[in-house]
Each structure stands twice: as C-alpha cells, then as structure tokens.
Amino acid sequence: MARLIIMGPPGSGKGTQAEHIARHFGIPAISTGDLFRAHVRDKTELGLEAGGYMERGEFVPDHVTTDMLKLRMEEADAADGFLLDGYPRTVIQIGALDEMLAARGQPLEAVLALTAADDELLARMLRRAHEQGRSDDTEAVIQRRLELYRDETQPVLTAYSNRGILLPLDGSGERETITTAAIAAVERALAA
C-alpha cells in the first residue's frame, strides 16, 4: 500500500485531488486542515486553540498539529497506507513525520507537488470564499497563507526533492487531467 503526501499552495486544489488520488489507491486522505476544521466545528479544546491561528492564516504550532496527526495515523484505516494532505508544512514537521514512520517501519514513497501561478490561486480562493464561505478565504488572510507557503513550506519541497521522491505536477488544468497525471506519476514511482 502506498504512503504518499500531496503538497500545493492554498487554492491549488490539493484537497480535491487528494480525495480522488486516495480513492484510486484505496488509502485514506488525511487532511490536517479538515481535521482542524472538524475540531473547530465541534468546539473541542483543540478546536478553540487552533481556530484563532486559522482565522489569521497562521500555522497552528507544530507540536499541536503533530499530536493531532499522530492520533489520526493510529486509526486502523491508516495502518498500511495513507495520503497526507497539508502535512508536513514546516521543516520541523518533516522530522516529526520521519520519526513516526521510522517507528512504524514504513518508508514514504512519493510526494506530489501541485504548482499554479499566484494570480490563479488568488482567483480560485476568492471564488471558493464566495461558494463555501471558508472564513480564512479573505484576501488579506489568503496573502498571508501564500506567503507562509513560500517561506515555510517551499523548504519542505526542497527537502523531499533532495531525497529524490518529489513528483512535481502542473495544477492549472482540468481536475480530471491532473488526477490522471498524478496517479500515473505515483504508479511510475511505486514501480521504480
């Protein structure tokens, strides 16, 4: 079973792609953003803590995020394979994930990286704000999320690229075309 990560700037469509790719490989798509949003909705202690960061477009602190992810990864459906969406987002989180996977004796097989131009990302997110009313989809907050992606998450891409497991993918076309390309890229990586 595949152990995968999908990365991409806010608005790149990574959540949607994650769902389709995970379904193809029969693994759960685990989105830290969705996990946080569920906590916020349920008004849990974690949700109250995370909500403030999310509203401002800031990252939730690494240890808080990692503890939440660990619990989710311990669930039965993620025992052999998973597609992580939104984690790791910082270099510190790479180390935490490495430790988690080493303890499970599981290597990471591939990291999909969606790319898209900033003006397209902004346009998509403003459209999504209109449709879904995500409270972190206002222009100022979006700019902050894009900035954090550049400053904190690009180094994560570089690290995985240096490990030779990064699969860059053009995220600007049709949803289905991108899914097909992603699946093909992962299958090539799994066969290599």
Name the 3-class secondary structure at 179. helix
Q: What interhelical angle do 91-104 and 154-162 show, nearest 10?
A: 50
Residues contacting residue 93 through CB under 8 Å, at least 6 positions apart: 62, 65, 66, 87, 156
Nearer to ligand ADP, 10 or 28 (CB): 10
**17 is a site residue for ligand ADP (CB under 6 A):** no
Q: How far is the CB of 56 from ligand ADP (least distance, A)?
A: 8
Is 150 tagged catalytic? no
Query: Judged by CB under 6 A, does residue 120 bind ligand ADP?
Result: no
Instruction: Give, to the nearest 10 degrees, the angle between helix 32-42 and helix 45-56.
Output: 120
Cis peptide before 88 (omega within 30 of 0): yes
The 29-68 contact track toward ligand ADP, x by CB under 6 A, reads: ---xx--x----------------xx--xxxx----x---
How many residues of this chain bind ligand ADP (CB under 6 A)? Answer: 17
Q: Which residue is nearest to ligand ADP (CB)?
A: 33
Q: Within 121-160, which residues bind ligand ADP (CB under 6 A)?
A: 136, 145
The active-site residue out of 134, 144, 150, 188 is 134
Q: Is 124 a catalytic residue?
A: no
Segments in the chain forming alpha helices (H): 14-25, 32-42, 45-56, 62-73, 91-104, 118-132, 139-148, 154-162, 175-191
Q: Could you confirm whether 41 is annotated as catalytic?
A: no
Residue 28 binding ligand ADP, by CB under 6 A: no
Q: Rule CB under 6 A: say whether 171 interacts with ligand ADP.
A: no
Show which residues are catalytic. Answer: 14, 89, 128, 134, 145
